[in-house]
């Protein structure tokens, strides 16, 4: 703590301004500025859609194991811990894949695996052992798909504005995190089947994959950096 450097005096708010008001104005300016980068916006839309499905799978996995498979809490806890360790290895694996095939293709590959996970849940997961196999697959792609998505986004935003654009990234992420659970919950309510309800999430993964496939990451990065250079 004592070795941290002072970055200069803190910014003083204008008279009559509030932190909330300044933050809201900055958020609005960031959203307005994002419109100049349509490919970045397209990627952000794709991410919001497929990440919503990822978060839903993670959220309902324990409920599926408990209610559908009647697994005891001890086994579910062990599966959750296993996912965390496997996710670390999965992130390293996808880092290698991104270096070989590009981050975009690695994420698209992860989305295909996610679709396979949903199909596996629907067609085959009926025992605790199969649940652990499913959890291991989730761990492999969970860390990689989310970490690489952030890496892609970081290439497509203006230099020097990372904080405000990643704030938008996180706010937008949380702002749509209810959609997947809502669709899953409605499907479960109407069908009474966790397996059928899980199939609804394939739409999110498929749409996210289709949108991501249309994103030219290199061109988006060039546009963001060129405009920033012109502004400087």
Question: Residue 163's pLDDT is what?
Answer: 75
CA dist., res. 172 & res. 51, Å (int): 11
The mean pLDDT value for 121-140 works out to 93
Question: For residue 23, is it within any domain?
Answer: no
Question: Residue 161's pLDDT is what?
Answer: 74
Summary mean pLDDT of the chain? 83
Helix (H) or strand (E) holding 142: helix 128-155
Please name the residue that has the structure tokens 């959609």: 179
pLDDT exceeds cutoff 60 at 13: no
Question: Residue 157's pLDDT is what?
Answer: 84
- The number of folded domains in the chain is 1
Please write the tens of the pLDDT for every residue from 75-110.
Answer: 999 999 999 889 988 888 999 999 999 999 999 999
Question: Residue 35's pLDDT is what?
Answer: 75
pLDDT exceeds cutoff 90 at 188: yes
Question: For residue 4, is it within any domain?
Answer: no
- Three-state DSSP class for residue 193: coil
Question: For residue 12, is it within any domain?
Answer: no
The mean pLDDT value for 33-56 works out to 87
pLDDT exceeds cutoff 60 at 22: no
Question: For residue 30, is it within any domain?
Answer: no
CA dist., res. 35 & res. 56, Å (int): 29
CB atoms within 10 A of CB 65: 24
Give, in order, the Cα–Cα distances in Å from 94 to each of 33, 137, 146.
Answer: 31, 13, 10
Exposure class string for 95-107: b at 16+ Cβ within 10 A, else e:
bebbeeeebbbbb
pLDDT exceeds cutoff 60 at 209: yes
The mean pLDDT value for 169-195 works out to 83
Question: For residue 2, is it within any domain?
Answer: no
Domain that holds residue 61: 38-224
CA dist., res. 214 & res. 232, Å (int): 30
pLDDT exceeds cutoff 70 at 33: no
The mean pLDDT value for 156-171 works out to 77
Question: For residue 45, is it within any domain?
Answer: yes
Question: For residue 27, is it within any domain?
Answer: no
pLDDT exceeds cutoff 90 at 165: no
82's tokens: 């296993």
pLDDT exceeds cutoff 90 at 210: yes
pLDDT exceeds cutoff 60 at 226: yes
The mean pLDDT value for 23-42 works out to 72
pLDDT exceeds cutoff 80 at 16: no
Is the model more confident about 159 or about 184? 184
Question: For residue 31, is it within any domain?
Answer: no
Can you give the CATH number for the domain in which 129 is found?
1.20.1250.20
Residue 174 pLDDT level (bands cut at 50, 70, 90): low
């Amino acid at each position: 703590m004592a070795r941290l450097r002072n970055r200069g005096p803190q910014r003083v708010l204008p008279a009559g301004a509030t932190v909330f008001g300044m933050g809201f104005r900055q958020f609005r300016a960031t959203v307005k500025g994002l419109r100049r980068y349509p490919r970045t916006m397209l990627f952000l839309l794709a991410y919001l859609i497929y990440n919503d499905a990822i978060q839903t799978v993670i959220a309902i996995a324990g409920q599926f194991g408990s209610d559908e498979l009647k697994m005891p809490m001890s086994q579910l806890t062990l599966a959750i811990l296993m996912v965390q360790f496997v996710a670390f290895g999965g992130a390293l694996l996808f880092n290698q894949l991104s270096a070989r095939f590009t981050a975009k293709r690695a994420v698209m590959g992860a989305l295909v695996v996610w679709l396979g996970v949903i199909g596996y849940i629907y067609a085959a997961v009926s025992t605790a052992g199969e649940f652990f196999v499913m959890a291991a697959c989730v761990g492999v792609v969970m860390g990689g798909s989310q970490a690489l998505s952030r890496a892609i986004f970081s290439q497509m935003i203006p230099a020097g504005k990372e904080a405000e654009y990643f704030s938008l990234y996180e706010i937008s992420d949380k702002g749509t995190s209810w959609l997947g659970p809502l669709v899953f919950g409605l499907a479960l309510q109407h069908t009474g089947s966790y397996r059928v309800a899980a199939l609804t999430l394939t739409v999110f993964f498929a749409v996210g994959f289709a949108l991501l496939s249309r994103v030219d990451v290199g061109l988006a990065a060039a546009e963001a950096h060129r405009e920033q250079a012109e502004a400087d």
